[in-house]
A and B are shown apart, each in its own frame.
Chain A
Amino acid sequence: MLTATGLSCIRGERRLFSGIGLAVAPGEWLHLQGENGAGKTSLLRILVGLTPAAEGEVRWKGESIGALGEEFRREMVYLGHHAAVKEDLTALENLQISAALDGSDLAERGALAALFRMGLKGREELPVRVLSQGQKRRVLLARLLARKAALWVLDEPFTALDVKAVQMLSGLIGEHVAAGGMAVLTSHQSMPIAGGRVLQL
């Protein structure tokens, strides 16, 4: 369970938000909403521990994420708005290497299955450089399938995806949540996934 209390974020001279509290229990997901520049990405980065909060604390299963360190990071996957794939490597290599960096060994069969499910059949041996924006995004999203994580933190996961991929991804998030997973995501679209709550920044 992910809880946060009294979070505030200061960027330069500007206070983006303050006194934000949230809690996500297993089987729940949180939809962060807010205008452009409201601090959605900053809040997500605080939740995963990339940026320290100006005030407040983030806890995972009752313990501060700073103290948990690797233990927390093992149970969490964060996908930001960067492509986070290497252009010179193939989709398959990208997925296998990111799994290896996560400390798990992903067999080629498992990686291919994840890529196929993401609709990248026939593209797995191409360098990511030649893929379209949406396809690059799918390579990144394949990590969600390849890696078992209890908490998904997704920053604008639907950017550059076509209608079919959006449906598939929201189905995926639904399955994850229904199986007792947790998710925090930002999106300007509304999503028909059960167990969701909205936090307006």
Chain B
Amino acid sequence: MLAIIRRDLLIAARRKSEVLTALFFFVIVTSLFPLGIGPEPTLLKKIAPGVLWVAALLATMLGLTRMFAPDHADGTLEQMALAPTPFGLLVAGKVVAHWLVSGLPLVLLAPVLGIQFDLDAGALGILVVALLLGTPLLSLVGAIGAALTLGVRGGGVLLSLLVLPLYVPALIFGAGAVEAHISGLGAGGHLSLLAALLALAVFFAPWATTAALRIALE
């Protein structure tokens, strides 16, 4: 499992442009909103959680199509399925690598981008925690979609249609946590639900992804 994480990180390091595209997308989309709406702190503060979360969602989507497709095309996925290491473990490793490359940078960038929306330190902290719980969830759920659409023509569009509705709970609870904190209700409930969703996904998503990949390889 560590070997596959190391391999995917090494490949990402050799192909920096793909990783940076998703990051720049995140930065630019979130920066366009304050520019377009104008300097009105109360309004910006209100839309901040939603904007940051939607942008994070779409930025994660960008990398999803490349999660299994290159490995499928060059035959390395086939070799993984035949390796003596359990296939599910290798698939889980690939999801971890995807999160490290496309999820973790978003978490680290979010507080900096949040300043544009006049969020205070407490809200920024909640935003980071919510993203820390939410982005692995996005990678895990996205992996199922990526595996199901593997080898399908026009799979990219199908993938967004399939995965974006599944991202709705993460969006609601993630953005809701920050909103609840700002309005003084406390973010605990939202964060707990987000963590519960993550725990559920950690158990079931690799299993479902592996099953979908086996069908794609037949």
A interface residues (Cβ-Cβ under 8 A, vs B)? 48-52, 70, 73-74, 76, 78, 80-89, 93, 97-98, 100-103, 127
B27 shortest CB reach to chain A, Å: 25
Chain A residues within an 8 Å CB radius of B217: 50
- Residues of A contacting B83 with CB < 8 Å? 73, 101-103
Q: Which residues of B contact A (CB under 8 A)?
A: 3-4, 6-7, 10-11, 14-15, 74-76, 78-86, 90, 217-218
Q: Is the CB of B74 within 8 A of A82?
A: yes
B211 nearest CB across to chain A (Å): 13
Contact A48 to B82, CB < 8 A, known contacts A85-B76, A100-B3: yes
Minimum CB–CB distance for A65 against chain B, Å: 11
Q: Which residues of B contact A102 (CB under 8 A)?
A: 83-85
Shortest CB distance B4–A (Å): 6
Bound-state Cα–Cα, A127 to B10, Å? 12
Please determine whether A89 and B218 come into contact, CB atoms closer than 8 angstroms: no
Cβ-defined contact, A51 with B218, below 8 A: yes
In angstroms, Cα B93 to Cα A100, docked, is 13
Report whether B78 and A84 are in contact in the complex, using a CB–CB cutoff of 8 Å.
yes
A-B contact pairs, 13 of them (CB 8 A): A50-B217, A70-B85, A74-B84, A81-B75, A82-B76, A84-B74, A84-B76, A86-B7, A88-B11, A88-B15, A97-B3, A97-B7, A98-B76
- Nearest first, the 5 closest Cβ-Cβ pairs linking A and B are A82-B75, A100-B3, A84-B75, A74-B84, A88-B14
Q: With A88-B11, A89-B14 as known contacts, state yes or no: A101 contacts B75, CB within 8 Å.
A: no
Q: Is the CB of B10 within 8 A of A89?
A: yes
A95 to chain B, nearest CB (A): 12
How far, in Å, is B81 (CB) from chain A's closest CB? 7
The answer to whether B82 and A50 have CB atoms under 8 Å apart is: yes
Cα distance A88–B74 in the bound complex, in angstroms: 12
A98 touches B78 (CB 8 A): no
- Selected contact of B79 from candidates A51, A84, A87, CB within 8 Å: A84
